[in-house]
Structure 1
């Protein structure tokens, strides 16, 4: 099982959909070779250097954390059922209530769509808060998500970064 990288009063908690098999096996977030999370985080300005997946806990130094919407690892996120998301939502809410981040950034639309009950979701800042946190939805950095280039991912992530430092 992949452990959260989390603490109280973080600026942003990034919420992946669920762990990939490699990340679960390694015990480190976004450790798949094709995952672009760490690179994009650095390029967008969140970190002063590119963190390696094997040093994922360094993220806390920058006042950011990581969690997943669903704990069960899979090869692809579309292997998860709607019921798994729904069952995970209460746990997620309790976690956000306990840790109280300023922002929650969902990586991909899937988890937020089920958690919020919204059918139409736009990228970026959402109009509703969740557990008093401002919600953003960012494109998933998975290597399987080739609909977004590194440059496009960086633009989306940079928008959150700029808002979060104001």
Structure 2
């Protein structure tokens, strides 16, 4: 009896970007959570504070539901991720994966040409820039022509930042970008 051929596992679905040309800010997550990929929408985990933080920081006039994530475009903002591979926790993504995704992200940001790119957490930007001493906020060099900014990750697993801390950090970006 002949052995059955091995069939590779199908690639996991990709979370679609929410992008268009000429945006003021593109928020760049580290990678999508499993729930986001399953739903097809960004920041769907109930513990994630992204939507609340950007609303309270003044980016949106309303609290956007994750299922309506494309509404963020109406406010001059967009969404993407550094690494497409979904995980339960962002710390499951290696520095090498962030580095390998650099070229794809760079081309995407050049194509859509936002004024700012806001990395949500230090890990990806550190790996991409090759710098370990990343400060929060405005970065000294641009990324693909966009002003680079680093914000705290809004994940509910990030207990180092309370919602008020997130709102303050995100508000600083809004004041600079708009």
> Smaller-chain TM-score range?
over 0.9
User: 2: CA distance between counterparts of 1:84 and 1:127?
Assistant: 23
Name the TM-score, length of structure 2 as normaliser.
0.91
Deviation digits for residues 82-133 of structure 1 (CA, Å, limit 9, x no counterpart): 2211111100000011000000000000110011111101100011111111
In the TM superposition, residue 80 of structure 1 has moved relative to its aligned partner by 1.2
User: 1: CA distance between counterparts of 2:42 and 2:168?
Assistant: 22
Among candidates 7, 10, 13, match of residue 23 of structure 2: 10
Structure 1 position 144 matched with structure 2 position 144:
no
> Is the deviation greater in 125-134 or in 151-160?
125-134
Listed as ranges, the matches of 1:56-135 within 5 Å are 56-135=69-148
Give the structure 1 partner of residue 7 of structure 2.
none
User: 2: CA distance between counterparts of 1:83 and 1:133?
Assistant: 23
User: 2: CA distance between counterparts of 1:87 and 1:149?
Assistant: 31
Give the structure 2 partner of residue 26 of structure 1.
39
User: Mind listing any 5+ residue stretches in structure 2 that lack a counterpart?
Assistant: 1-13
User: Mind listing any 5+ residue stretches in structure 1 that lack a counterpart?
Assistant: none
Give the structure 2 partner of residue 157 of structure 1.
170
In the TM superposition, residue 55 of structure 1 has moved relative to its aligned partner by 0.2
Compare CA radii of gyration and give the structure with the larger one: 2
User: 2: CA distance between counterparts of 1:69 and 1:18?
Assistant: 6
User: 1: CA distance between counterparts of 2:134 and 2:54?
Assistant: 22
Give the structure 1 partner of residue 64 of structure 2.
51
User: 2: CA distance between counterparts of 1:82 and 1:107?
Assistant: 15
